[in-house]
Amino acid sequence: MIEIILNIIYNRYIERGFTYMIYYDYQSIEKKWQKHWLDTKMFKTRTDKFHPKYYVLDMFPYPSAAGLHVGHVEGYTATDIVARYKRMQGYNVLSPMGWDAFGLPAEQYALATGKDPKTFTYQNIKNFKRQIIEMGKSVDWDRELATADPEYYRWTQWIFKKLYERGLAVLKDVEVNWCEGLGTVLANDEIEIVNGQMVSERGHFPVVKKPMRQWVLRITEYADRLLNDLDLVEWPENLKEMQRNWIGKSSGAMIDFELANSDRKFTVFTTRPDTLYGVTYCVLSPEHPLVLEITTEDELEEVKSYIQKTKAKSDLDRISDKVKTGVFTGAFAKHPITNKLVPIWIGDYVLPQYGTGAVMAVPAHDERDYEFAMKYGLEIIEVIKGGTEGAYEGDGIHHNSGILDGLNNEEAKAKMIEYLENRKIGYAHHTYKLRDWVFSRQRYWGEPFPVLYDKDGNIRLVPDDELPLTLPYLEVFKPSGTGESPLAHATEWLYLTIDGKEYKRDTNTMPQLAGSSWYYIGYLLKNHLGYLPFDSKEAKEVLDLFLPVDLYVGGTEHAVGHLLYSRFWHKVFYDLGLVSCKEPFMKLVNQGMILGSDHSKMSKSKGNTVSPDDIFLSHGADALRVYEMFMGPIEAEKPWSNEGLDGAKRFLDRVWRMFDFEVMNENVKELEVIYHQTVKKVTDDYEKLAFNTAISQMMIFVNEVYKVQKIGKEQARGLLKLLNPIAPHVTEELNQTILNSHEELVYSEWPKYDEKFLIETEVELVVQVNGKLRARIQIKRDLPEAEVKEIALSHENVIKHTEGFQIAKVIVIPNKIVNIVVK
């Protein structure tokens, strides 16, 4: 009823020729423009070569039941500002949206409720899409996709086939993170450490290491390219460093150690072959295949117990434990040069997948080895002169080192590698922390593998014309109990006969990261008719036109997961000739987290979450967009503030009421300087994604308009254009209803500034006496030096500090500083 009355009052004001609104009806205005944009497909991207392209991309969301949160809105608003700004600059902008729809959460929902995960997921997608439309994001919805759409994952399966054909997808027995409670393998980023034990992030079920036969993608084949090509992209340096550390390239040597009283040997990788003479013991990983074979009977029980305890630890926990532990195997190895016997231990800090799962210990020159040796009373031999207590890890002159005596570190490394290679007991080598990507999941809700197995385990690929291989409908989503996924229950789907020969499908599905590793390309292949074939000429033309992505915005949590795997797949596409650029994402920005008003992470349990739906109703989408962009730099963490949200709404109200002032046909002279300064400042800030300072400058301009109580029509429309990318609804409404413009802002030309108005007429003069600041004075720019001296010397605080002294000289730096020297 109140809303009806207020609308009646508003209409009467309009009828009487008043534009001053006592009621800013943001809800009807925002609904009006959102409908208009959808009905007209306003943001549909053209495939034309006559305008420069700009591809702006969001890390697409997983559509959870909770809906969007204000953190989503922050990143999505930032990319929308850039998209709208670039359209006004004449770019052919692609701004798509889709859904990371496969994955564990939907499967867990199905297990808990007995309901179909597909229905649940697509209901959530519908809600997410509504919220994104209501926040005013300018999306080309003809390109909408979900990774769970069969027509999309047809091409995910096709990509897998290409990986298999190139030898990059292989079946291997690998040690995985097995979660019995969830009935599936988990990736490292799906695991947490609680009280020193591995548990699943979802549900906190115990996780253990377990060998299983899995599909593995050989990302390690691309390690060097993934490392080197980081130089090609404009990413935050800390994120690049995270990828470099994850890839973890190390240069050194492989060295063979023979077992005492045996013809067997093991190989170690070391980055310090120059310290070989200082080796006093070796350590194998508990998983090393030689451990149980070489362990003596007296040590066997303790070794087995230690191995069992190691299985409950995560890799991160093993390498980060400050106190290193180990157990002696009772066995010895021969030193490769001196033939001296060195004891062989096992230690959980040695990982089986890094290097060779075996290390040579040099306690005099490695802090970890030193602490271990001190703890277990092992020998320490100094081979580099350092003169410090503990382990000396720096450069120095070698001694006690035979052929290396008198050499520094680098010289000694080169000579030792040459010595090892000549005697065929070692060689130069590079190794990586990066491991191959375990690609199998024991889940139902994921992409089925397009493979068939005959009774002998031989593999047959599903032909392209039979893709997609779709998921069968299941009523039971419980794990099979055999280590297989729930697909083991779908017997009619699982078994088939081709040309009289029996085959079985793979019961595993692909991980959630499969679909998200190429979705930025999926948008380009997708149109209202479906998908262009990935390997078609038409697809290549589109991909060459739009790739790489110009701006990608998302969270740092994807640094060594999604971003690394997407880069890997993209390089495979490059090798296949499907794309022409080496990297998928040229510029990457990580938005900071929006915290609760209590400065802690938002969570339901803390009761500090904020729903954008509530803000759409209470303040409007434009106010929410302005507030989130005004909170601070896009990359920074920021606490939520209802007062700040109120302030954003008051600013938009002031913009609205500003149009009650006289709108003149000619520009208002009093506003010329501040207007052109504002155009330049906002333009520069949008280029830098400094949206908070852009808003500040527009606030300054609006304040100046209020002082003079009038504005020129060109100046008014210019302000609306500047503000439109941040607050698109209210600016389009003012442009249409108050300025009576028939040209919508969305594709209008971006304002230009005139350099002649950017020269400041006044400057701040700093006055120093004997180098100490004594005054700051506003003066006209480019005054004669004599006049500047007179003004400076007449300032009362300068007089106070020069009285009674002799002025030796006055130094003037034009438009900046006057330095007075007194005796």
The separation between the first and the last C-alpha atoms of the chain, rounded to the nearest angstrom, is 80
pLDDT at residue 15 above 60? no
Q: Residue 803: how many CB atoms within 10 A of its CB?
A: 8
Q: Please report, for the domain that includes residue 375, its CATH number.
A: 3.90.740.10
pLDDT of residue 17: 40
Q: Does residue 586 sit in the same domain as residue 674?
A: no
Binning pLDDT at 50, 70 and 90, where does residue 22 land? very low
Domain hosting 776: range is: 762-822
State the Cα–Cα distance between residues 531 and 554, nearest whole angstrom.
Answer: 26
Tokens of 618: 């209470």
Q: What is the pLDDT of residues 442-484, one digit of tens each?
A: 899 999 999 999 999 999 999 999 999 999 998 888 776 677 8
Is 625 part of any domain? Answer: yes
Low-confidence winner among 189-193, 272-276, 526-530, 759-763 (lowest mean pLDDT): 759-763
pLDDT reading at 1 higher than 50: no
Closest by alpha carbon to 290, among 266, 254, 258, 260?
Answer: 266
pLDDT score, position 23: 54
Q: Does pLDDT of 732 surpass 90?
A: yes
One domain for residues 616 and 710? yes
Identify whether the C-beta of residue 227 lies closer than 8 Å to the C-beta of residue 430: no
Task: Taking residues 230-235, report their average pLDDT.
Answer: 97
Q: Is the pLDDT of residue 509 over 90?
A: yes
* pLDDT surpasses 80 at 2: no
CA quadruple 290, 294, 297, 301: dihedral positive or negative? negative
Q: How far apart are CA 59 and CA 75, in angstroms?
A: 9
- What one-character DSSP code corresponds to residue 811? E
Distance CA 325, CA 785 (A): 76
Q: Do 291 and 392 belong to one domain? A: yes
Ranges of H-type helices in 248-327: 291-294, 300-310, 315-320
397 and 538 in a single domain? The answer is no
Is the per-residue pLDDT at 8 higher than 80? no
pLDDT in tens, 534-544: 999 999 999 99
Annotated binding site: 604
Mean pLDDT of the 682-705 span: 96
Question: In angstroms, rounded to a whole number, what is the distance separating the alpha carbons of residues 702 and 653?
Answer: 11
CA distance 477 to 112: 9
Identify whether residues 704 and 797 lie together within a single domain: no
Q: Find the CATH number of the domain harbouring 527.
A: 3.40.50.620
Asked whether residue 739 falls in the same domain as residue 692, the answer is yes
Chosen domain end from 431, 461, 491: 431
pLDDT, position 724: 98
Q: What is the DSSP string of 98-140?
A: EE---SHHHHHHHHHH---HHHHHHHHHHHHHHHHHHTT----
Claim to verify: residue 621 and residue 521 sit in the same structural domain: no
Mean pLDDT confidence for 717-721: 98
Q: Are 413 and 523 within one domain?
A: no
pLDDT band at 564; cut points 50, 70, 90 = very high
Amino acid letter, 454: D
pLDDT at 355: 81
Residue that finishes a domain, picked among 757, 779, 800: 757
Domain boundary (563, 595, 627) is at 595
Percent over 90 (pLDDT), the chain: 77
Confidence of residue 64 (pLDDT cuts 50, 70, 90): confident
Residue numbers belonging to the annotated binding site for ATP: 604
pLDDT band for position 643 (cuts 50, 70, 90): very high
Query: For the segment 567-619, what is each residue's pLDDT rounded down to a tens digit?
Result: 999 999 999 999 999 999 999 999 999 998 888 888 777 778 889 999 999 99
Looking at the 3D structure of the chain, how many domains does it have?
4
Q: How many angstroms separate the CA atoms of 152 and 470, rounded?
A: 11
Mean pLDDT, the chain, whole residue set: 92
Token pair, residue 498, equals 């081709």
Q: What is the pLDDT of residue 11?
A: 45
Q: Does residue 793 share a domain with residue 648?
A: no
**Tokens for 657?**
């009421």
Q: For residue 764, what pLDDT is reported?
A: 85
Q: Which residues pair with 284 in a beta bridge?
A: 346, 358
Q: What is the pLDDT of residue 480?
A: 64
Q: What is the mean pLDDT of residues 284-290?
A: 96
Cis peptide before 468 (omega within 30 of 0): yes
Q: Where is pLDDT greater, at 764 or 419? A: 419
Q: Rounded distance, CA 709 to CA 55, Å?
A: 41
What phi and psi, each to the nearest 5 degrees, are found at residue 598?
Answer: -90, 10
- Kindly report the CATH number assigned to the domain that includes residue 719: 1.10.730.10
Q: Which residues pair with 710 in a beta bridge?
A: 662
Please state, as a whole number, how many other Cβ atoms lie within 10 Å of the Cβ of residue 448.
23
Same domain, 424 and 555: no
CA distances for 57 relative to 44, 98, 122, 148, angstroms = 15, 10, 22, 20
